Amino acid sequence: MPDLAQFFPVIVGLGVVCLIVTLAWRSILKEREQSREREERAVMRGWAYRSGSPQQGFSWALSGSEGGTVWTLEVSRSKGKNAAQRATLTAPELRCAAGAVWAGSSSLVKFFRSSIGRKLIGWGLQLTHAQTTSAGMAGPLLDEGALEVDLGDSDFAALYGVLATDSGSAFQLLNAEVRRAMLDWEEGHKTGNAKGFLGVTWGPEGVAVTWGGRAVASGDDMVAFVELGQRVMKAARGGW
């Protein structure tokens, strides 16, 4: 009778392989279900939904129109153990007539004002795509003499810093409704030790709302993020 002990490593190895395959298959099925859910929710809202690929540079995308303004949402996810997701909603037509406004992490503002931060910004902004993202606008704003703007909202100031070349534009864009929506999004998408970054830009490139953190994967998250973007777009049009 063969000694079963000699087969133990093989049995363990097969078990590990089966577990990995099972988990991978569950992940695929979950993503398919979420994609189907997102597409159904998009159709209900009159938005165009499309799946992407690594070659296209995005995982999935949406496009729609709000108040006659065309917007696009693209969601991408990096690979690897510490994979991160980035969701960016842009409305290029909504250009700011009076300079530019940037709202993002208050800790980033402090970093941008440090000597090492300014050097890193200079290198990073040589990448053209950085000019159209929420985080990428902060460096040029400082170079243009933008000042930090106090909106008189202590809850908002605890999380966000605001830079603007025109304070009036900052108050227009970041009105009470938008500030509340930004805080609600942060509260709902930073659970436990999860970290994320929400940034809003309004400038020559139009409006951009960027989230890097917990995945915008479900239909509910997708709708909530677009609704946040719609509030920002409406404020940029002066619709409040």
Q: What is the pLDDT of residue 5?
A: 58
Q: What is the pLDDT of residue 190?
A: 67
User: Distance between CA atoms of 152 and 204, rounded to whole angstroms?
Assistant: 26
Listed residue (100, 168, 111, 166) closest to 134, CA to CA? 100
Q: What is the pLDDT of residue 148?
A: 83
Q: What is the pLDDT of residue 26?
A: 52
Q: What is the pLDDT of residue 17?
A: 52
Annotated domain spans of the chain: 49-236
User: Distance between CA atoms of 150 and 170, rounded to whole angstroms?
Assistant: 9
Q: What is the pLDDT of residue 8?
A: 54
| pLDDT averaged over 10-residue windows placed end to end, the chain, 240 residues | 56 53 51 77 91 72 88 78 72 87 77 59 39 50 70 92 88 96 86 69 88 82 93 84
What pTM was estimated for this model as a whole?
0.75
